[in-house]
Structure 1
Amino acid sequence: MIKELQKRLKEQNIKFYYVPTDDDHQSEIVGEHDQFRKYLSGFTGSAGVLVVGQEEAWLWTDGRYFIQAEKELYPGIKLMKMGNADVPSVKNFLIDHLDDGDVLGFNGKVTTASFIIDLDEDRETDFELKDIDMTDVWTNRPERSHEPAYIYDVKYHGQSTAQKLEWIRGYMEENECNAHIITSLDDIAWTFNIRGKDIPHSPMAMAFSIITLDNAYLYLQDGTYDEAMIEAYKNDGVEIRSYDDIYLDTKRLSGQVLVDLSAINYAIYSFIDCEIMEGSNPSQYFKSIKSDVEIENTKHAHLKDGVAMTKFMYWLKTSMPDDATECSITNKLLGFREAQELFTDISFNTITAYKENAALMHYHPSHEHDVHVKKEGMLLIDSGGQYLDGTTDITRTFILGKISETERKYFTYVLKAMLKMQEAVFLYGANGIWIDGLVRHELWKQHIDFQCGTGHGVGHFLNVHEGPNDIRPRLRDPRKPSAIQEAGMITTDEPGVYIEGQFGIRLENELLCVEDIKNEYGQWMKFEPLTLCPIDLDGLDVSLLTADEREALNKYHEFVRESLKPYLTDEENEWLKTYTRGI
Structure 2
Amino acid sequence: MKELQKLLKENNIDYYIVPTDDDHQSEYVGDYYRVREFLSGFTGSAGTLVVGQDDAYLWTDGRYFIQAAKQLKDGIQLMKMAEPGVPTIEEFLVEHLNENSVLAFDPKVMTARFVIDLENAMDDSLELDPIDFTDQVWHDRPEKSHEKAFIYDTKYHGVDASIKLEDIRSYMDMNGCDAHLVSSLDDIAWIFNIRGNDIEYSPTVLAFALIEKDKAALYLQNGVYDDEMKDYYASIGVTIKDYDAIYEDVSKLEGTLLVDLNAINYALYESINCEIADGINPSQYFKSTKNEVEIANTKNAHLKDGVAVTRFMYWLKHNVGHVPMSEISVADKLEDYRREQDLFLEPSFATICAYGSNGAIIHYQATKESNATISNKGMLMIDSGGQYLDGTTDITRTFVLGDLSNEERHDFTLVAKSWLHLMYARFPHGMTGINLDTYARAPMWAEGKDFKHGTGHGVGHLLNVHEGPQGIRPKQRTGENAVFEAGMITSDEPGYYREGHYGIRHENELLCVEDGETEYGTFLRFEPLTYVPLDLDGIDTNMLTDEEKAMLNDYHQFVYEKIAPLLNDEEREWLSIYTREI
Instruction: Tell me the amino acid that sits aligned with residue 504 of structure 1.
Output: G
Alignment of 1:410-425 (within 5 A): 410-425=411-426
Counterpart of 1:142 in structure 2 is: 142
In structure 1, the partner of 2:60 is: 61
Paired AA for residue 285 in structure 2: Y
Change (3 A) 1:582 1:190: same
How far did residue 319 of structure 1 move?
2.2
In structure 2, how many angstroms separate the alpha carbons of the residues matched to 1:369 and 1:361? 15
Helix, strand or coil: the match of 2:108?
helix
Which residue identity lines up with residue 340 of structure 1 in the other structure? Q
Alignment partner of 1:168: what SS? Answer: helix
Per the alignment, residue 223 of structure 1 pairs with: 223
Note if contact 2:183-2:208 (Cα within 8 Å) is conserved in structure 1: yes
Using the TM superposition, give the Cα deviation of residue 187 of structure 1 relative to its aligned residue in structure 2, in angstroms. Answer: 0.1
Tell me the TM-score normalized by structure 2: 0.99
Q: State the match for 1:158 in structure 2.
A: 158
For 2:244, the equivalent position in structure 1 comes to: 244
What is the CA deviation profile of residues 101-145 of structure 1, one whole-angstrom value per residue up to 9, with x for unaligned ones? 110001000000000000001115722011101112111000000
Q: Would you say 1:83 and 2:79 are equivalent positions?
A: no
How big is each residue's C-alpha offset from its partner over 1:337-377, in whole Å with a ceiling of 9 and x where there is no partner?
00000000000000000010000000011223321001000
Looking at structure 1, the residues matched to 365 and 39 of structure 2 have their Cα atoms a distance apart, in angstroms, of: 20
Q: Find the counterpart in structure 2 of residue 319 from structure 1.
A: 319
Find the aligned partners of 1:365 and 1:333 in 2 and give their Cα distance: 15
2:409 is matched with 408
1:482 is displaced (CA, Å) by 1.5
Give the Å deviation of 1:235.
1.5
Counterparts of 1:204-283 in structure 2, within 5 Å, are: 204-283=204-283
1:165-221 Cα distance to aligned partner (Å, 9 max, x none): 011000000000000000000000000000000011010011000000111100000
The answer to whether the 8 Å contact 2:470/2:480 transfers is: no
Match of 2:352 in 1: 351
Q: Which position in structure 2 is the counterpart of 1:434?
A: 435
Matched, 1:553 2:549: no
Distance (Å, rounded) in 2 between the aligned partners of 1:354 and 1:473: 28
SS at match of 2:334: helix
Native 8 Å contact 1:358 1:505 kept in 2: yes
Deviations 1:370-422 (A, max 9, x none): 21001000000000000000000000000000111101001101010011111
Question: Number of matched residues?
Answer: 580
Q: Is the 8 A contact 2:468 2:480 kept in 1?
A: no
Q: Could you tell which deviates more after superposition, 112-121 or 364-373? A: 364-373
What aligned pairs does 1:334-413 form with structure 2 within 5 A after superposition? 334-413=335-414
Structure 1 segments, 4+ long, off by >4 Å, are none
Q: Report the TM-score when normalising by structure 1.
A: 0.99
Q: Report SS of the residue matched to 1:381.
A: strand
Q: Distance in 1 between matches of 2:348 and 2:260?
A: 26
Q: Which residue is equivalent to 2:120? A: 121
- Write out aligned runs for 1:294-313 (5 A): 294-313=294-313
**Is the contact made by 1:418 and 1:493 (CA closer than 8 Å) also made in structure 2?**
yes
Identity of aligned residues (%): 58
Give the distance between the partners of 1:35 and 1:285, measured in 2 at CA.
29
| Structure 1 gap ranges (5+) | none
Determine the structure 2 residue equivalent to 1:487: 486
- Say which SS state the counterpart of residue 50 (structure 1) adopts: strand
1:99–1:125 contact (8 Å) kept in structure 2: no
* Cα distance in structure 2, aligned partners of 1:422 and 1:440: 13
Name the counterpart of 2:513.
Answer: 514
Deviation at 1:481, TM superposition (A): 6.6
Corresponding residue number in structure 1 for 2:536 = 537
Q: CA deviation at 1:254?
A: 0.5
- 1:521 partner amino acid: Y
8 Å CA contact retained: 1:322, 1:374: no
SS in 2 for 1:485: coil
Which amino acid in 2 is paired with 1:226?
D
Secondary structure in 1 matching 2:208:
strand
CA distance in 1 between counterparts of 2:530 and 2:493 reads 12
| 1:14-33 equivalence runs, <5 A | 14-33=13-32
User: What CA distance in whole angstroms lies between the structure 1 residues aligned with 2:292 and 2:123?
Assistant: 52
Distance 1:562 1:544 in 2: 27
Computed over aligned residues only, the root mean square deviation of the Cα atoms, in angstroms, reads 0.8
> SS of the counterpart of 1:14?
coil
Give SS of 2:271's match. Answer: coil
Distance 1:338 1:118 in 2: 46
TM superposition shift of 1:298: 0.2
